[in-house]
Amino acid sequence: MPRSTDTEIVPTAAAGELSTELVDTMSRARTYARNSRSKRTLDAYASDWKMFTKWCRRHQLSPLPAEPVTVVLYFTQLAEGTAFPDEKEPFARRPSTIRRHAATIAVAHRLAKTVSPIDEEEVQAVLLGITKTLGGAPKKKTAAVREIVTDMVHSIDEEVSAPGIAIRNRAIVLVGFGGALRRSEIVGLDVEHVEFRPRGMILTIVESKTDKERKGQTVLINKSEHADLCPMRSLQAWLRELPVSSGAIFRSLSRRNKMQRLSGETVANVIKDAASNLKLNPDAFGGHSLRSGHVTTAVRDGTRIDVVQKQTRHKVLQTLLEYLEREGSWDDNSSKGII
């Protein structure tokens, strides 16, 4: 989002109205305002706004304030995959992604103290039509259950040529699966967030989708009796490879982005690559496959749903139940033995 609006949630006082002390206080107030949104949300806003302004420049249209017809045309091209023909592989955006772009544009206009075009009837009609035409429900990724995770870990050992990357990727898969973590939680882990105990390890999740106030959440991962599949041992092996003792755990080893914190997209690619190694459809897997795989495996093994909910930290049980794969529901199904 534009520099003039990305942080100005707190209104600016006219010059000369505030004392030096209050100017300093205003600066801290702006910091608090920025922290009201997660870094992931702000990054998504910034990325979406950059795309929208790029599209507007190409068509010589104003992004701020934007006319309703501008966003209508933009959303239509996003839905049809024609918005950015210069992309290496142009693709159509999903309805959920387009709604996120709409939220970004609305926030930019609200912070700029101008009327948002998103509220206009014609814009809402196009958004609704895109959802009804293309489908509103996101495609669920295939759950990486225990058997798949086991094969993925072994495939990483065999297929990844660089030893350091293999150790890192194996830890990503096992920690994500063992902890039922979201991909953002995996890459958000710092060395300081891990405590090793005799029976396993304790992770502190500093920022999470279900912890908007950043109170912190605790996740326990038991030590596995299978050394080659143990999340704790795999993470310890990776930490021994790291030349640092603090900060991000999962980092890039590429020459271009040496030692930078990995992105959630990289986690998804690790899972996709491992699935591809197993001759599975990589498009069916993603970062969330580890989390849904944990849920599916645990319930299949007979773990009580409240115990699973404690691990996943879902506030709403129905959301957790939606993670379960159809294959895990045959025993708890009213059609069993009905005829």
Q: What is the CATH number of the domain that holds 278?
A: 1.10.443.10
Instruction: Tell whether 100 is covered by a domain.
Output: yes
Residues 313 and 181 reside in one and the same domain: yes
Per-residue b or e along 29-50, where b marks 16 or more CB atoms closer than 10 Å to that residue's CB = eeeeeeeeebeeebebbeebbe
Q: For residues 153 and 134, what is the distance between their CA atoms, to the nearest angstrom?
A: 36
Q: Would you call 207 helix, strand, or coil by DSSP?
A: coil
59: CATH: 1.10.150.130
Residues 157 and 283 reside in one and the same domain: yes
H helices present in 95-199, as ranges? 95-111, 121-134, 146-159, 163-179, 183-188
Residues 203 and 101 reside in one and the same domain: no
Residue 5: closest CA among 80, 112, 95: 112
Q: What is the pLDDT of residue 5?
A: 42
* Domain C-terminal end among 82, 114, 134: 134
Residues 210 and 320 reside in one and the same domain: yes
Q: What is the pLDDT of residue 7?
A: 40
* E strand residue ranges, the chain: 194-197, 200-205, 217-222
**Contacts of 304 by beta carbon, 8 Å cutoff, 6+ apart:** none
- Asked whether 308 and 320 are in contact (CB, 8 A), the reply is yes
Instruction: Tell whether 203 is covered by a domain.
Output: yes
- Per the structure, the count of domains in the chain is 2
Q: Tens place of pLDDT for every residue, the chain, 339 residues? A: 554 444 444 444 444 566 777 777 877 777 776 666 666 677 778 889 999 999 999 999 999 999 999 999 999 999 999 999 887 777 888 898 999 999 999 989 988 889 999 999 999 999 999 988 887 555 678 899 999 999 999 999 777 668 889 999 999 999 999 999 999 999 999 999 999 999 999 999 887 666 566 677 899 999 999 999 999 999 999 999 888 888 999 998 776 666 788 988 899 999 999 999 999 999 899 888 999 999 999 988 888 888 999 999 888 887 777 776 555 555 665 555 666
Q: What is the pLDDT of residue 120?
A: 93
Instruction: Tell whether 3 is covered by a domain.
Output: no
Instruction: Tell whether 8 is covered by a domain.
Output: no
Q: For residues 83 and 77, what is the distance between their CA atoms, to the nearest angstrom?
A: 5
Residue 81: closest CA among 59, 98, 106, 103: 98
- Asked whether 106 and 65 are in contact (CB, 8 A), the reply is no
Q: For residues 186 and 175, what is the distance between their CA atoms, to the nearest angstrom?
A: 8
Query: What is the full DSSP assignment across 86-109?
Result: TSSS--PPPHHHHHHHHHHHHHHH
Instruction: Tell whether 10 is covered by a domain.
Output: no
Residues 159 and 308 reside in one and the same domain: yes
Instruction: Tell whether 41 is covered by a domain.
Output: yes
Residues 167 and 234 reside in one and the same domain: yes
Residues 174 and 66 reside in one and the same domain: no
What is the pTM (predicted TM-score) of this model? 0.66
Residues 241 and 322 reside in one and the same domain: yes
Q: For residues 174 and 177, what is the distance between their CA atoms, to the nearest angstrom?
A: 5
H helices, E strands: number in the chain: 13, 3
Instruction: Tell whether 324 is covered by a domain.
Output: yes
Instruction: Tell whether 335 is covered by a domain.
Output: no
What range does the domain containing 275 cover?
Answer: 146-328
Residues 169 and 288 reside in one and the same domain: yes
Q: What is the pLDDT of residue 59?
A: 95
* Domain C-terminal end among 106, 134, 162: 134
Residue 232, token pair as written in the block: 């704790």
* Domain C-terminal end among 103, 134, 165: 134
Q: For residues 135 and 142, what is the distance between their CA atoms, to the nearest angstrom?
A: 19
